[in-house]
Chain A
Amino acid sequence: MNGLNMTRRSFLAACGAFGAATMVVPRFALSQDGSVLTVRSYSDLQVLDPTFRLSLPEDDIIRSIFAPLVIPQAGDVWGWKPIAAQSIEQLDDVTIAFTLKDNIGFTDGYGQMTAEDVKFSIERFADPAMESPYAGDWSALKEVEVKDKLSGLIHLNQKFVPLWSTTLPTPASCILSKRAMEELGDKITTKPVAQSGQYLLAEWQPKQKTVLKRNPDWAHEQGGFDEIHIIPIEDPATAERGFEAGDLDYTWTSVASIPRLKSNPPPNSVVLEKPSLAYVWIGMNQDVAPFDNINIRRAVQHAIDRKGVVDAAYFGAASVGNGIIAPGLPGSRDSVTYDYDPDKARDLLKQEGATNLSVTLDILNQTDRLTAAQVIQANLADVGISCEIKQNDSGTFWTLGSKDGDYWNKLQIYLQRYSMQPDPSWATVWFTPEQVGVWNWERVNNAEYKALHDQGLGESDFGKRDEIYKKMQGLMDESGCYVFLTHEVVGAIHRDTIQPGLKPNGESLFSEFKSA
């Protein structure tokens, strides 16, 4: 025992010295060597099957590890660029021709990617037996015809304009190995088989980290980093602190933080503000009193100071929106058909004999929603409507208007936000008669609206589409069930040593991130 002459006091001193040493050693961001990118995602991965994916962060991982025909183009303009496709073009309204790059291989010994794999992967989406939530992406699909080893034709039943904006540039064009999937006999969960993309999933530590590494066999355009570490952080404030502490290279921020970050950005960082595709509105359930009376609904439309609500909730970072379709897309509007006119609102309420009205405003329990709700509450009080704000957690909120629940016939007025893809049909689809009691909580059942929605899906002329979707939003205004508030903005922050690959709405494309 002579060799280890350690007293309790010297042991404690050594521990203290070690602790102090660990605190004074300077820490470095992971990406300082330029080979590792550390980014935040708002949720952990749960399903890696393109056909059954659940969230946007999974989209990004799936696109990176299973080569898609095309991916969205990074930049400020919506577009796409080929990844697995050597060429892809629309031959006529219902035919798309594709040819694959010659040397894309699947891992795990599943050989080269062929047109047979494309046929399998796309038809798997559309197969009713698969019950994919994304079957609608390929709802117009007739079949995929294999011409030879690398080329084929995608045949549609009818013209489908969103194909190039919201189907092909999503994981709906990711190609899986037919042989691997048939051997698996089930959907892919968190263990990918037969990967083929620019990156490979190297490691998944649940709730902690997902690591993508360059695919050594990928012979085409390379991603910008050797490794991408994806850290799931749900709370944007936590992610912002993580960025400021040097633990992240890129993160989305909360809208509320944008003014603070822009006025005082952390050292060596760039703050971005991108237009969002989301839309936020006040909805009124027309099947429940008092909103079964159109004049009461119109009174609410006139009672709400939309600019006041948006300025308060988003600290001036967002502007007022005039519909469900974001600027830049066909159907985007400059105005609504109702204005802020409290006197008119009071007149309408008086005309209907609606005195001492009391309503419940349901919202999601988020700070910006509560702030907006408080302004709405004040606006309604100003015209004589008493409004109680009811906050709901996300699990409760998203089922409030469901016909399967027991609250839809009590739901009166609510603050709602939907996100969308860059095609107006993605916004309008939720308000069709089929969606009554599903996502159409206003319960507006308008056949003309449905007909226009169907017409828009097959119309490729920008001007005509613009007209169709503006008319549809006009019908929404007429119903009195909607007060459109904003399209929000997307905030992001990144190190000045990287150049983020982002879609025009700020959503990330991991494989498009580069060193600055």
Chain B
Amino acid sequence: MQVSVQEADFDSAAEALALTQGRKDIGAVVTFEGRVRADDGLSALTLEHYPGMTEAEIARHVAAAQARWPLAGVRIIHRIGRLGPGERIVLVITASAHRQSAFEAAEFLMDYLKTRAPFWKQEQYGDGARWVEARADDLDAARRWQSPAKR
């Protein structure tokens, strides 16, 4: 398990290769890459986070995923700072013997990154900025993992 919070961009293919190189027990690798959309004339997104808590919170969710699915590897990168449309924001890679575990764990981790990890997005438009509000459907997506196993 490796978690990074960084300003720098990342290379998803290189990260997937590093996670799986030399392994003969991995039958499934899911790579999810989140990107900035240019909705409504958005010019940039600025991501702020809570150093210390962010890493601790993500580590708690990775541990929960590892307890729930037989994972051979997990890699998470979340970018912070100012990002333009089309830029990568977040990377989640899950590796497992079989695809169902890899798919489900990747979705689980993304749902928790969106609703529990202490990041805040501010959207910049031509002449102003506004803080993004939490979305009810993100909370619903995270809630579906709460039963019957751990939250």
Q: Do A and B bind each other?
A: no
